[in-house]
Structure 1
Amino acid sequence: MSNLQSKFTSFYDKRIFCFIVVTIILAAISICNTLIKQINIQILTTKDYSKPPPLPDWSSIAVKSFHKVFVETDDSRLFNTSFTQSNQSLSPLSVDTAYSLRWIVVTSINYPTKTINKLSKLKDWALVLVADISTPKDWSHPNCVFLSIESQKRLLLEIHDTIPYRHYGRKIIGYIYAIRHGAKIIYETDDDNELISGIEEQVLTFQEISTSNKAYFLPSTPQEMNTFNSKPFFGRAIFGTSTNANTTTNLTMEEQITVNPYHYFGQPNIWPRGYPLRLVGDNISISISLSTVRPLIQQGLANGDPDLDAIFRLTQSDRHQKIDIQFQEKPPVAVSHGLLVPFNSQNTLFHYDAFWALWLPVTTTFRVCDIWRGYFVQRLLWELTPQATLTFHSPSVLQLRNPHNYIRDFEEELQLYTQTEQLIIFLRKWTCSRGGSHLNGVRDCNLFFNKIYFLAVDMVEANFWKMKDAWLCVNFLIDLIKHGYRYDLKYQIPIIKPKATNQQNNSISQQNYTVSSKNIPSTRVAVCVSGQVRTLNMVISSTLPVMTVDRAVYRPKVAWRKFRSGKHTTAMNIQSLLFDQLPAFDVFMFVSTKEKHHREPHVNDTRICESLRPRSSSNRLFCSVVKEMDITNPSTNVTALNSYTYAQSQELRQGLLQQLNGLQQCNAMRKEYSRKSGIQYTHWIRLRPDSIFFEPFPNITSIRFVDETTKQPRIVYATKKKCCCGNEDWFGVGTIETMDAYFDRINLLHTYKNRNIWSAEVFAIDVLTETLKAQLLDNDPRIQVCIYKPKDRRYTGEP
C-alpha cells in the first residue's frame, strides 16, 4: 500500500511540475507577444521628423464630442456679466467637468505658490496647472484643475508624444485643455509672477478703456490706442578724411524693424529678452500715433525683476543686490505691422481669434522658445485684418524670479544673441507664396492655416528651429480643431470701424462698434512705385543738380526747407509729403535690377522697399524685386521703337521698356491683391522711387479727374519740363478706371503706328486718347514733384 501511495505522490508532483513549467512558458510567450506588439506599434507610430509634415485638409478634420456641450457666448456676456459656470470654487476643480470662459494656464514643479493663490481667487476665472515629471503628485488647490501626467495622456492629443517631459512646452497641453473646456480667453503666466498687491481685482476684469494708464488688459473689440510706428533712422555715421572732424561723408539710413517697449514705459536703458543686440546702444526715437486696432495678443509688463536677457544681468546689474525695476503706468501701446517686437509667455493674454498662436517650439532652448513663438505669431497677425495686433500694457505683476544661473541663461540665450535680427529680417521679407523650397510653386496660400503651416516649415529651412517643431505646430492646429476651436479657413476678420465717441471724456465704449458693410473706406488709393531705386535711401543734398531741378522751382517752397538740412532721404520726403497726405492707401512696388551696379538690389532682396513701408498698420506694402527684361531678346524688339526719340541708344530703349513693363507689373500686383482680398481702390498713383516733392500733396478728392466741359476723364501728371528741361514723365494720378489703361499701355506698343519721332509722353497721350478719350494734364500747380538723380551718375542710363 505504501509503495502505491509513493508512486501516486511522485506522479502527482510531476504533473504539478509540468503544469508550472507550461504556465511559465505560456506566460513568457504572452509577454513576448505583448512586447513585440508594443515595439511594432512604436515603429508604426514613430514619425520621421527629418521630413516636413503633410499639409492637412483642415476641413476634413472631425470635431470630437465631449461630455457636455460648451455654449457660445457673445462679447457682452464675456466681458460684462458674471456666470455661474466659472465662479470661484472653494474646492479643486474636476479634470473632467471643469468649465470656464476664462482660463489661466500655468506649468510648475512646485507646490502652489503665492502667485497661484492670488490667481485662483480671481472671480470668473479658472486655473489649470499642467504637471511635469517633477511636479508633486499630490498638487491640489481650490478653483484649480491639476492636469497630471496621466490626465494628459487620457486627452489623446496629437501633440502629446511630440512634447518632451521636463520642458516648458508642457503648457501647450494646458492650452488645448482650456479650449476644450470652454475658453474664450486664455491668460498664461508663471508661478513666480505675482499680481501686484492692491490691483489684483482690476487686472483681468477688462473694465478700463484703452486710454487709461490702468488698462492692464482689454477686450478684443476694436479700439483706438497709441501705436508704435515704423520710422527710418540714421545708422552709425562713417567719418571721412575731411579737415572738419565733425563732417560726415556718409550717412546710412536704416529702416526701423523693431522697437524697445520698455522705453515707452519709462525705462530706456534696459531691453527685453529677445531684443536685437546690435540695436541696444542705438538712440532710436519712438514714433507714436493713434490707430484703431484689435488687440488679439496682449503683453503685460512686470515690475521687480522683469524679463531681461543674461547679458544685461551679467553686465548691468549688481549680483549682490536684487534687481528692482519699476515701469511707469501708461496707456497701452500697439505694434504696427512692419515692426516685430519680442514678447514672452509670462504675463500674456490671448483672445479667441489668436488661439492658433498658443503653441511653443520645443527644439529650441527654454530661454528661446517663447521669444521665437512671439516673433512667429506676430508675422502671421499681418495676414489677418490690418487691425489685428500685439499690444503692451502697464505692469500688472511683480516678478519674484526663481533662482537662475546667469551663465547657464547666457548659454541658453545664444541663439537670441546671434539670430534675432536675422529672424526679424526673414519674417519681414517672408511671403507665403514665395517662401522656402517646400511645395514652392504649388502652395495654396488662400487658407490662413496653410500660411501657418508654410511659415513653420520655412523657419526650419532657415535654421531657426527643427522639423519637429513644424510637426508640433501642425499637430497643435489639428488638436485645436478636434477639440472645438471654431475658425474660418480663410480667416479674414472683418475690418470694424468705431462709431463717433464722446469727445469730452475721450472715452471709447467697448460696445460702441459696428462692422463695416464694405472691406474698404470710400476712398482708397493704390500707389505704384516702379523704376530705379538709385536715390531712394540717399540723403537729399541742400543743392539739387541743375539738370534735374532748376533752383527757381524749389527755392520758394516753404515745405521744402526742412528737407534741405542734409538729414532727410528721398524715401522720407515721399513718406512726409505724399503718403502722410493720402487717405487709406497701399503701396505696390515693382523693382527690376541688372544686379551689376552698387545701387541696384539683388533679385528677391525686398529690403530695398522697406523705407517706403507705410507708417500706419492699416496701410500695406507689397514688393517684388526681379531680373530686368533684356532688350536684346527678339520678343522685345518692337518695330515702333525705331521711331522712338532715343532709338539709337540701346540703354534708353531698355529704360523705356523697363518703365512700361514695371507699370504693367504693378497693375498686375494690384489686380491680384484686389481679387484675393476683395479690396477695391478708387485712385491709382504712378510714382518713381527717385521722386522728391516740394509741397504736400493735395487732398486727392479735391483733384478734378473729369473735364467739366467735355466730360472726358483726366490723368494729372508731372513731367521734367516743369522741373528744368525735357519731357520725361515721372508722376501720374487718376481714377482707377482711367489709370488701368495708362498702366497697361505696353500691350499696345506693338501696334503703335505713329510715324513721327515720339516720346514716352506722346505714346501715353495717344494711347489714352484712342482707348478712353482721356486727357493728360500737367498744369496742376499743387503737384510739385521732380526727381533726384545721384550726383555721381556718369552716363545716361546708369542707375
Structure 2
Amino acid sequence: YRLSHPLSIGQIQFDQDQSPIALEPFTFSPYNTQNTITYYEAFWGLYLPITTTFRVCDIWRSFWVQRLLWDIGGRLVFGRSTIKQVRNSHSFIKDMNDEYQLYHQSARDIAQAGFWQSKEVDIMNAWLADLHSVGYSFPSIVLPFSSSSPSIIQKRAAVCVTGLAECIQEAWVPTYSTIFNHLQGDIDVFLFLSSSRKSKTNLFDINLKQIRSYLDSTVTILYEDRIIDPHIPLNCKTFYNPNMDRSHVMPYYQQLWGLAECFDLVKEYEQKMNIRYEFLIRARSDSVLDKVPRTLEPQNNLTLVIPNEYDFGGYNDRFAIGSMSIMKKYMRR
C-alpha cells in the first residue's frame, strides 16, 4: 500500500470515536503484534512462528489464532488506537520482498506450502508445555460453528448509496424515507462513500461525524483516496448543475468504480449471510428523490425503473431500481 499510494501516507485519519468492531466466525482479517491486547483465554495464541520471515510471522499467527478463537467462542476485536507510532526509516522494497508470501500465496495451506518449517511444531509443543507448567488454564471447546444455513433468507431490497459522504442528512435521509414508504419489506442499506475533498472544513468534519453515527445502514464503507466530485456545493445543496468539461471525466469514471464496488459488496453480503434480495436500488448520497415514479417496483426482472428528474440532457443517472440480474448490468457497466 505504501508503494502504490505514496500520497496517502500520513493523510488518512481514523475516527477516534469509532466503536470497537468484532469479527464474526468465518471472517478473517490479519492483525499484527503492535498495540494488540490478548486476553487470558487466548494466551495460547501469543506464540510467534520463528521459521518464517520476521515481517510476516505475526500475520501468519493471526490467521490460525482467529480460526481457533471460533472454537472457544472468542472473537477478534478491532478498536481505536491507544498509542502514537513514530516509525523508523526502512526500505519499503525490502518489506515487500519479505512479505511476498502474503501477497501471492495466502490462499494456500500454511504448513503444506512450506510457509514455516516442521521444527515449528516442536517449538509450539514446548510453548504449550510451558503454559501447562505455570498453571495456565486452557479454555474449553464450545459447540462447533457451522458455515451452512438451513434456508435462504429472502429480503425485499438492497440499496447501494454511492458518492460523497457529506449530504447524508440533507439528501439521503429523506430519500430513504421515500423508498421505505413506497417499497414495503426488509431493506438493507449499503453506504459506499468517499470521504475525500480538496478543501477540508469544519462543516466537512461535522458531516463525517454524522455519517459515522448514522445507524440505519447494514454496511458503511468510507474511503479516502479518491476525489469523487469536487464541484458538489459546500452547503449540501441537493440540486446543482456540474460543469460537464474535461475535469468531470475522471470523477465520472470514479462514480462508475463506486457502483461496481458497491454491487460486489452486496453480492458478497448475500453469499456470506445466505440472503437473496428481490431488488437492488442505486441512489446518490447528494440527491433527493423528489419525483417518485408511480411504482418503485419493476414489473419484471428485465425492467429498470428510473425517475424523471436529474437528467442533464439524458437519462437519470442518480437513482435506479431493478432486479439483481438487470442491476448487475447497470452497476458494472
TMscore range, shorter length? 0.3 to 0.5
More relative contact order in 1 or in 2 (CA 8 Å, sep 6+)?
2
Give the TM-score of the pair, scaled to structure 2. 0.43
Give the TM-score of the pair, scaled to structure 1. 0.19
